[in-house]
Amino acid sequence: MGSFCKRASAATAVAAVLALSAAGASAGDYSNTIFFGDSLTDSGTFRSVVPVGGKFTTNPGPVWAENVASAYGKTATPAVSGGTDYAVGGARVSQLPGVPATAPTATATPVRNQITNYLASTGGRADPNALYTVWGGANDIFAALASPTTAQAAITQAATDLVGEVARLRAAGAQTILVPTLPDIGVTPFGRSQGATAAAQITQLVSGYNQLVTLGLGNAGVSIIPVDTYALLRDAVANPASYGLTNVVGTACTTSSSLLCTSASLVTPTAAQSYLFADGVHPTTAGHRAISDFVLNVLSAPGNVARLAESPLHTRDRVISLIQAQAAANLWTRKTGESGAWIVGGVGRLSSDQRGDQAGTRGTPLNVSVGIDKRFTENLLVGVAGTISNYKGSFSTGGDYKQREYVASAYGVYRVGGAYVSGVGSFGFADYDLRRGVTINGTDHSTGGGTEGVNASFAAETGYEFASGGLTHGPLLGLRYQHVSVEGFTEDSSLFGFSYREQNRNALVGSVGYQAAYDAGSLRPYAKVTLNREFTDGNRSITVESKSISTLAYSMPVAKSDRTWINASAGASVKLAESVTGTLGLDARLGEQRVRDFGAFAGVSVGF
């Protein structure tokens, strides 16, 4: 992004442009990170042609593209050096010369040609699994300021061209495309130097360009991920301390351009971290860190919130297993025609690793269930139960969410000889409170919100038990279905928060296994192992809206869960007194690559 416009004509140019305006007015484990743009994104195209520096920042600090690429285990090496950062300092969207129109930026490859060069290297197809960024237009605004008579037409054309290039990239196969808004040039040191009136006019001009791009993408139906860097810069200038900055009006470099700035040419030794601007328009190392953190928040937020529809699958499985174990114990102790009541408490550990943009979580599920049932015949036991469960999952990226669920269940077991069939049907309401950690340049900007959801489930199991003395054992088959729905909600931060639409998660799981129990009179130990397979493929996405750019909703894929795992459980029922039975057990979900789920329960049942 060039900053070498002539100050003498800037105010007049802006006024003329505005007068003309009034008259005529995209879960993920990415395969790569690919960038198109100008000096804000350029990671060192001119390094070989300048004596020192090489990037438009406080060298040797990384630009935001390098930070984002590194976060995904990639690099943002300049394309001229064989990398995937095609951005070039001074580049315009589709026109030449670059800005300023002197070496080395005069021949800066326009964004249009950058995308053409990338597609030429891939046979015309964009990698659908890569993360793309298209960020351009600032130099077209600088060029317009220098040519007021054609400025409005040029700016409109630049916005139209940028929309067209994003659409072309999308049509070539790109699935995840970031499109940041232009930062507010009016609040930069360059903008301030033009005077208050001209700076306000520049701000209006940049805002108009951003609106043209946003409306153009929306009208064209091009799916992208908007990044409101315009709002970010304005907030940092208005509240520097909240971003760890002390100076947002001066420049950190003593050189005329940050392209030549190094640690030796800083106004103070710490200026790269305490100043926002390196020169008249370009960010410092700290400024780029703020941008990259902001981008990572945009990318990670949907995956974090997707956890709200995943953890209920685990907590409900725990409730189902508990009720199944209690029903088996009650069938062992209840006499024909006898009723009874029971209470069981459970505690566990549920954690999942970070996957792409989806944060890892770790927490302790707790639940208490109470129920009543009756053994109507020698072969039939039927009951109902109520459960209160709680889970607080801490995000690996900071923050947490609380899930409280209130569940009503009906269950039954029927036996004929050694064969049996059992079922548990449940319906529950859930409340969620979420606080999502957001760190921008080392400062906390956490955001959150609350919502509700439901979980409907049914589990059926059948098997045959061979008897030999007090020992019973045999194979079993099971089928479980769950439907989880989480209502949409909006986070509280206007800049770092998002609005999320309703989530739905369905799971159909089949199981095959073996179980054994031993009746020792007053003691009945048992063990059960099943191999489980989820038949649904787990493909789903979460739709999100930026609170500041709400017209461009976008959907992000949710990282898939493992589809095959083993459940192992063991425990015992103990006759404590006449019609009083204690039950305890352990259970674990094993064999999943990224999830660890285990727990224990204990309870008591009284017949009457």
Catalytic residues: 39, 279, 282
d(CA 247, CA 228): 22
d(CA 536, CA 157): 47
Measured N-to-C along each axis, helices 151-171 and 111-121 cross at an angle, to the nearest 10 degrees, of 20
Q: Is 126 within 8 Å of 132 (Cβ atoms)?
A: yes
Burial (CB count <10 Å: 0-12, 13-18, 19+), residue 162:
buried
Tell me how crowded residue 127 is: count the other CB atoms within 10 A of its CB. Answer: 18
Q: Which residues pair with 276 in a beta bridge?
A: none
Residue 239, both tokens: 């509240």
Q: Which residues pair with 392 in a beta bridge?
A: 402
Q: Report the SS3 class of residue 136.
A: coil
List the Cα angle 144/149/150 in 5-degree steps. 55
Residues sharing a CB contact under 8 Å with residue 577, sequence separation 6 or more, in sequence order: none
d(CA 505, CA 473): 35
* Phi, psi torsion values for 366, nearest 5 degrees: -130, 140
Q: Which position has the token pair 């930062």?
A: 183
Q: Report the SS3 class of residue 366.
A: strand
d(CA 278, CA 259): 9
Q: Omega into 104 within 30° of 0, i.e. cis?
A: yes
Which is it for strands 580-590 and 541-546: parallel, antiparallel or unpaired?
A: unpaired
Going by the DSSP 8-state scheme, the letter that residue 337 receives in this structure is T
* Nearest Cα residue to 290 out of 396, 438, 179, 136: 438
Residue 240, both tokens: 């520097």
Q: Is 286 within 8 Å of 43 (Cβ atoms)?
A: no
Region for residue 538 given its phi and psi (left: phi exceeds 0; alpha: psi -120 to 50; beta: otherwise): left
How many residues can be counted in the chain?
A: 608
Measured N-to-C along each axis, helices 285-306 and 229-238 cross at an angle, to the nearest 10 degrees, of 120
Strands (E), 260-365: 339-352, 361-363
* Nearest Cα residue to 206 out of 57, 482, 14: 14
* Nearest Cα residue to 545 out of 217, 226, 285, 187: 226
